[in-house]
Structure 1
Amino acid sequence: MSAIMLQGTGSDVGKSVLVAGLCRALVRRGYRVRPFKPQNMSNNAAVTADGGEIGRAQALQAIACGVAPHTDMNPVLLKPQADRTSQLIVHGQVRGTLGSGNFRAARGQLLGAVLESYERLQAQCDIVVVEGAGSPAEINLRAGDIANMGFARAAGVPVVLVGDIDRGGVIAAVVGTRTVIDPEDAAMIRGFLINKFRGDPALFTEGYHQIEALSGWPGMGVVPWLDMVARLPSEDAVVLEKRSFSTDAPLVVACPVLPRISNFDDLDPLKLEPSVDLRMIGPGQPIPAEAALIIIPGSKASIADMRAMGAQGWDIDVRAHHRRGGAVLGICGGYQMLGRTIRDPEGIEGPPAAVDGLGLLDVETVLSNAKTLDAVRGRALEADFRGYEMHMGRTNGPDCARPFALLGERPDGAISRDGRVMGSYVHGLFASTGLRDALLRGLGGQSAGEDYDRSVEDALDQIATSLEVHADIAAMVALAKG
């Protein structure tokens, strides 16, 4: 019953990818492996085999381990739905909401639930690979911590600290972490990894040894910049600010980046298509008039995001696009926004409220406490697909008589009378090659036919191979085994 934990000098240093790659590398060495993240904060989530939800990164890490995602892999998930409020998910199910005022006290009470999940995973495998959240250097958050050192010390799990050299200042980041954290916390860290190195690693030899001397921790490798990471589903919305897109592909697909955008990895399979110019439209940018398709993505707070659509003028852009004959697809919260109204009489997303939608589908949505979490298979656009539902609310209206999909015998979504506006509650549609091809053909394009799941598996294998070369996996296994 062994474990090792990767923590970071900051957010977005590559912990999730390194955990996934390490999981795959250990599986290839013959170990039974499980991923674990005590506490996650993300609006990108996945449905699990036991009927709950976890962070998207832990679902990817489960794939790297060759096992089905389970709620024990991420026992506490916070899903931000306002600037100071998050939905609290414990063991895969909604437990209520947390505000900034009660966050610290409440999370400390969740350590028991975290350790229960961790112990169950330990009983199933040889090694648990644990991912921290944010950074242990955020010492203002140390009291009541369950995501980093609070968990590591409670469970007795050794830590490897990950620093991101691409953002600069990595020597200060690693050594500074050693300086500011509690000595007993620092004793849990047994080594460091440098991630995202570009160029000749020999140029960093002196800096690497300086970190060892100043921190007292041994180095465990310098991992190069991994281009294949772009082929993996992403969890952190920060990547939306960094994503670059093709400018010469003939088919423009535009997606507004809503303030509470969720499950935006729905669009990742479109990156496989050389004919698609996928453009994520940020605040202050108009939706391009040349778009063949506008996708309104999922949202953790569809009423607030509908208001944001209006504030950005995107509602005008979408309606103008439709008048010009363009196609629109709404997924989950985006589907709700395509209707006439969204009502929240029970105050699910905040104070009870209602808002007018885009009015492109003759449907209305009423939000409710009941949350649908379900893996599904179905047929849409004359193609088979698989995906998952994750939503709160029910949508009804005349356009539902023309469902977007059939999930067995059950209808899903709606299509407008003119056939150019579609909405669905199903996430993950584009991962199915046949449906992706049907959608692109309907827009005058064509799919390259690449298997998205195979692409993800290949990327995980490539990352594991890179870690075998550039990281001291044997030393990490020795640490894990104590």
Structure 2
Amino acid sequence: MARAIMIQGAGSNVGKSLLVAGLCRHFARTGMRVRPFKPQNMSNNAAVTVDGGEIGRAQALQAMACRVDAVTDMNPVLLKPETETGSQVVVHGRRLTTLRARDYARFKPQLLSACLESFFRLGRDCDLIVVEGAGSPAEINLRAGDIANMGFAEAADLPVILAGDIDRGGVIAQLVGTHAVLDARDAARIKGFLVNKFRGDITLFADGEAEIARRTGWAPLGTVPWFDDAWRLPAEDVLDIRGAPRADAFRIAVPRLGRIANFDDLDPLSADPALSVEIVPPGRPLPVCDLILIPGSKATIADLAAFRANGWDIDLAAHHRRGGHVLGICGGYQMLGRTLSDPEGLEGPPETVPGLGLLAVDTVLQPRKDLARVTATDVESGAAVHGYEIHLGHSTGPDTDQGWLRRDGAPMGAASADGRVRGCYLHGLFAGDAFRAAYLARLGAAPSDLDYSAGVEATLEALADHLAATLDTTAIGGMMADIG
């Protein structure tokens, strides 16, 4: 019979995703068949699963930590923000609808059955499920109908470990305050607590840990020091991507779009010490660089308007005139074309807008979402390219006739006549070392001999070692409950 435990946080960004990934790898190394699970995630950084759906990228990394393929049951409900007040709702890997936040609050109790269905299905084929909460259970105004934290824990009858973040300060208040505001039944479900992201001499926090235990009655499970190599793992938030301009490196500038999506294309580039990846926030001009990479977007037309409002279209044109290279991926590819049409109003009012005009391509958004893992070939080098497609819309035009990638003999992507501007729908393509080196060499870069996948694997091992050395994993194992 499978067992399970849930990791919740005393606030957002306390490091739950990384803790779950590390615990998954730790218990997998003991010989257990481990699976990650997050009932509800909110992210535009999705992954395409082996069963042809989409889930949050954090759960895909956690699946990697378990040494298994990611499947849709690991994240049955995914919210993909499209506006400030509304999100696309993905259930069991497929788009169900788009709802405003207030409407979703009334709708989400209907999704509990979908979450439980996935959870128990995972449990049939493993020994342990490590469940990740979302946000914080201290948001008691959201407790009614909750499916992300205590609502799910109660429905699945799970024990909970609560994590606090000492790096942002006030961790005692985070944990003790959560105990104070929770319903007594929810508070009793929490069996232990841990403190994450500690910097300095851990022994100095011993009294603080004891005080939390005294005030809550929860078992102290350890204080986890800051994990320096977290940046080497695929980022869930674009702000977590490490990149700074360096004068001696090949410079890549990436405009930070408001609805940036599926930006895992940037992870291997930022990990390469020979490259300098600069994420450019709104309000700042695109710098002089070697390559401008326009990433994916969840709301391409809106992000294109913001691109122009920031003056980035002017910076891009100047970069192109200087002989610079441009790459657009997915939404960025669509922006680079001549026109972008949304005849059915999928992203807003039905309209056709002019693109940036650097590729002779026209795009029409369509209701059917393309979701697929893809293997292609780089035409110029012959290197294999592995990635995934996750997009609305179809692009056609003279610059797509030849393509610069090939899939089953058919052209993929588009390139300008001089080859300096390129676009494609294929995400994740830079994870392949041979392709990444060949592509960058064509642009005049001298990439290092980075083995990206081996680096991610080594970092997951180091993370598991880090948690095993600082947490009472034996006590955590003893807190797990049988799945009913």
| Same fold per superposition (TM over 0.5) | yes
Residue aligning to 2:447: 447
What does residue range 18-97 of structure 1 map to in structure 2 within 5 Å? 18-97=19-98
Q: How many residues are aligned here? A: 479
Deviation of the 1:245 alpha carbon: 2.0
User: Does 2:364 match 1:363?
Assistant: no
Partner-residue secondary structure (3-state), 2:374: strand
- CA contact 1:104–1:143 (8 Å) conserved in 2: no
Residue aligning to 2:469: 469
Residue aligning to 2:429: 429
Q: Output the CA distance in 1 between the equivalents of 2:152 and 2:466.
A: 29
- CA contact 1:262–1:297 (8 Å) conserved in 2: yes
- CA contact 1:402–1:416 (8 Å) conserved in 2: no
Partner-residue secondary structure (3-state), 1:426: coil
> What amino acid is the match of 1:346?
E
Deviation of the 1:446 alpha carbon: 1.5
Alignment deviations for residues 216-237 of structure 1 (CA, whole Å, 9 cap, x no partner): 1111111111111111001134
What does residue range 319-358 of structure 1 map to in structure 2 within 5 Å? 319-358=317-356
Structure 2-normalised TM-score? 0.97
Residue aligning to 2:293: 295
Q: Output the CA distance in 2 between the equivalents of 1:132 and 1:235.
A: 15
Q: Output the CA distance in 1 between the equivalents of 2:264 and 2:208.
A: 36
Q: Output the CA distance in 1 between the equivalents of 2:50 and 2:464.
A: 25
Alignment deviations for residues 210-269 of structure 1 (CA, whole Å, 9 cap, x no partner): 1111121111111111111111001134436xx452524421100000000011121010
Q: Output the CA distance in 2 between the equivalents of 1:18 and 1:424.
A: 34
Alignment deviations for residues 356-411 of structure 1 (CA, whole Å, 9 cap, x no partner): 11100000100011111111111124221100010010000110013121122232
Residue aligning to 2:228: 227
Residue aligning to 1:479: 479
Alignment deviations for residues 101-158 of structure 1 (CA, whole Å, 9 cap, x no partner): 3011111110000000000011111110000001111111111110000100000011
> What amino acid is the match of 1:138?
E
What does residue range 173-252 of structure 1 map to in structure 2 within 5 Å? 173-239=174-240, 243-252=242-251
Deviation of the 1:281 alpha carbon: 0.1
Partner-residue secondary structure (3-state), 2:8: strand
What does residue range 375-454 of structure 1 map to in structure 2 within 5 Å? 375-380=373-378, 381-382=380-381, 383-454=383-454
Partner-residue secondary structure (3-state), 1:109: helix
Q: Output the CA distance in 1 between the equivalents of 2:92 and 2:271.
A: 33
> What amino acid is the match of 2:286?
I
Q: Output the CA distance in 2 between the equivalents of 1:113 and 1:249.
A: 51
Deviation of the 1:353 alpha carbon: 2.2
User: Does 2:318 match 1:317?
Assistant: no
Structure 1-normalised TM-score? 0.98
Partner-residue secondary structure (3-state), 1:187: helix
Partner-residue secondary structure (3-state), 2:70: coil
What does residue range 141-152 of structure 1 map to in structure 2 within 5 Å? 141-152=142-153
Residue aligning to 2:282: 283
Alignment deviations for residues 425-455 of structure 1 (CA, whole Å, 9 cap, x no partner): 0000110101111122122121212111111
- CA contact 2:243–2:270 (8 Å) conserved in 1: no
Residue aligning to 2:136: 135
Q: Output the CA distance in 2 between the equivalents of 1:275 and 1:374.
A: 31
- CA contact 2:264–2:427 (8 Å) conserved in 1: no
The 4+ residue runs of structure 1 with deviation greater than 6 A are none
- CA contact 1:63–1:69 (8 Å) conserved in 2: yes
- CA contact 1:39–1:74 (8 Å) conserved in 2: yes
Deviates more, 1:183-192 or 1:33-42: 183-192
Name structure 1 gaps, 5 residues minimum: none
Deviates more, 1:122-131 or 1:410-419: 410-419
Q: Output the CA distance in 2 between the equivalents of 1:135 and 1:115.
A: 20
- CA contact 1:306–1:355 (8 Å) conserved in 2: no
How large is the RMSD of aligned CA atoms in angstroms?
1.1
> What amino acid is the match of 2:282?
P
Q: Output the CA distance in 1 between the equivalents of 2:415 and 2:238.
A: 29
Residue aligning to 1:124: 125
Partner-residue secondary structure (3-state), 1:377: strand
- CA contact 1:270–1:278 (8 Å) conserved in 2: yes
Q: Output the CA distance in 1 between the equivalents of 2:260 and 2:131.
A: 26
Partner-residue secondary structure (3-state), 1:350: coil
> What amino acid is the match of 1:450?
L
Q: Output the CA distance in 2 between the equivalents of 1:288 and 1:238.
A: 18
Determine which of 371, 374, 388 is the counterpart of 2:372. 374
Q: Output the CA distance in 2 between the equivalents of 1:387 and 1:448.
A: 21
> What amino acid is the match of 2:372?
D
Identity %: 57
Q: Output the CA distance in 1 between the equivalents of 2:273 and 2:239.
A: 24
